[in-house]
A and B are shown apart, each in its own frame.
Chain A
């Protein structure tokens, strides 16, 4: 419970940092946190955290609830599957996965807004999501050493170490 609350606090801080310090395209720091959480604490917990973090973003947006809930929970689900099928995890693999999942998240959120809301982002220039993905990748590199996503705490707990 403590770790969930701590990471929710991180998500809240991440949203504040994104809105205050970035003019124009912003990194998706919440996505990085969701992926780290899923890697460290397991798939189910990661999906739950992704759902709650996505809900936080959708509520702050004030439009429909769901796009970021779906985007972040799918990212948590997928990164754990990828982790379970790879022998090792390092900063390069982590960054590559974050880049891929960032694109998946953007596509899912875009589709949700196009089909379920009255707003349209089809005229948005492509440079904005590309810049977002690049910034998110940089953020994941910077946060890798601090958050240590390679250390699978769920596995350690399950095996009783």
Chain B
């Protein structure tokens, strides 16, 4: 039943979005602590191009960073080398979502004057030219305003549980 619901949501995505390219199955993951990547079974011959966005049933998971004829590598939003332009849903303040290297992200460059609540949702702003605007990408899981830093330390959990992704939809950038 769960697989059915997941696949139904992906199917819905394919009919709702004009930037939909294809759906792919996750065939492998990086086994080390250094990278947060997935490998999918669709590549250049299926119309996939570098920097296209991969989206699962609950939200974006990453973008295409390596491309082969029959497969591609997706760098997840939780990878340390991943950055996504986002905005807070309520205040519309923009920031950068950077991967932490495990199963969470940091929201950077939010001033201490801005009030951010735990549970607040984050949307992609589209300003990076890669992720389409308006995708619900994560929610605030912890906020720290200690120290003499200019910006708050905001921890973000992705909407999609990245450890359980089995299929992704690829969207045009």
Binding site for B on A (CB under 8 A): 15-16, 18-20, 23-26, 28, 57, 60-63, 68, 109, 113, 119-121, 123-125, 128-129, 132
What's the tally of chain B residues with a CB closer than 8 Å to chain A? 19
Given A62-B66, A62-B73, A123-B80, CB of A19 within 8 Å of CB of B31: yes
The reply to whether A23 and B103 contact each other, CB–CB distance below 8 Å, is: yes
Q: Is B30 an interface residue (CB 8 A)?
A: yes
The reply to whether A57 and B101 contact each other, CB–CB distance below 8 Å, is: no
Q: Is B91 an interface residue (CB 8 A)?
A: no
Query: A123's contact among B28, B29, B73, B98, by CB below 8 Å, is which?
Result: B98
Binding site for A on B (CB under 8 A): 28-35, 37, 66, 73, 80-81, 98, 100-103, 163
Query: A129's contact among B33, B35, B73, B163, by CB below 8 Å, is which?
Result: B33
The reply to whether B102 and A25 contact each other, CB–CB distance below 8 Å, is: yes
Q: How near does chain B come to A67, taking the closest CB pair, in angstroms?
A: 8
Residues of A within 8 A of B34 (CB): 61, 109, 113, 121
Q: How near does chain B come to A21, taking the closest CB pair, in angstroms?
A: 10
In order of increasing CB-CB distance, the 6 nearest A-B pairs are A19-B31, A15-B31, A24-B102, A23-B163, A18-B31, A19-B29
* Complex: chain A residue closest to B163, CB-CB: A23
The reply to whether A132 and B73 contact each other, CB–CB distance below 8 Å, is: no
* Complex: chain B residue closest to A106, CB-CB: B33
* Complex: chain B residue closest to A19, CB-CB: B31
Residues of A within 8 A of B30 (CB): 19, 60-61
Residue among A23, A68, A129 having the largest count of chain B Cβ atoms under 10 Å = A23
The reply to whether B103 and A57 contact each other, CB–CB distance below 8 Å, is: no
Given A23-B103, A123-B98, CB of A57 within 8 Å of CB of B163: no
Query: B31's contact among A25, A57, A120, by CB below 8 Å, is which?
Result: A57
The reply to whether B37 and A128 contact each other, CB–CB distance below 8 Å, is: no
Q: How near does chain B come to A43, taking the closest CB pair, in angstroms?
A: 25
Query: A121's contact among B101, B103, B163, by CB below 8 Å, is which?
Result: B101
* Complex: chain A residue closest to B78, CB-CB: A24
The reply to whether B31 and A128 contact each other, CB–CB distance below 8 Å, is: no
Q: How near does chain B come to A47, taking the closest CB pair, in angstroms?
A: 20
The reply to whether B102 and A128 contact each other, CB–CB distance below 8 Å, is: yes
Q: How far is the CA of A23 from the CA of B104 in the complex (A)?
A: 11
Q: How near does chain A come to B63, taking the closest CB pair, in angstroms?
A: 15
Residues of B within 8 A of A123 (CB): 80, 98
